[in-house]
Amino acid sequence: MNAANYIVDIDESNAQTLLIEESQKRPVIVDFWADWCAPCKQLMPILEKLAAEYQGAFLLAKVNADEQQMLAQQLGVRSLPTVMVIKDGQPVDGFSGAQPESAVRDMLDKHVPSPQADSLAEAEQLLAEGDIPGALALFRGAWEDSGQKPEFTMAYAGALITANRLDEAEALLSDIKMVDQDARYQQLMAQIELQRQAARSPEIEALEADLASDEQNHEIRIKLAVQLSSHGRYREALEHLLVVLRADRDWGNGEAKRVYLDMIATIGKGDPLAAEYQRKLFSLLY
Q: Which residues are catalytic?
A: 37, 40
Q: Among candidates 3, 106, 117, which has minimal Cα distance to 94?
A: 106
- Spatial contact of 96 and 79, defined as CB atoms under 8 Å apart: yes
Whole-angstrom distance, CA of residue 271 vs CA of residue 259: 18
Helix (H) or strand (E) holding 145: helix 132-145
CB atoms within 10 A of CB 97: 13
- Spatial contact of 14 and 71, defined as CB atoms under 8 Å apart: no
Beta strands of 51-161 (E only): which ranges? 59-64, 82-87, 90-96
**Between helices 132-145 and 150-162, what is the axis angle to 10°?**
170
Q: Identity (one letter) of the amino acid at 21? A: E
Whole-angstrom distance, CA of residue 229 vs CA of residue 227: 5
Burial class (CB in 10 A: 0-12, 13-18, 19+), 224: buried
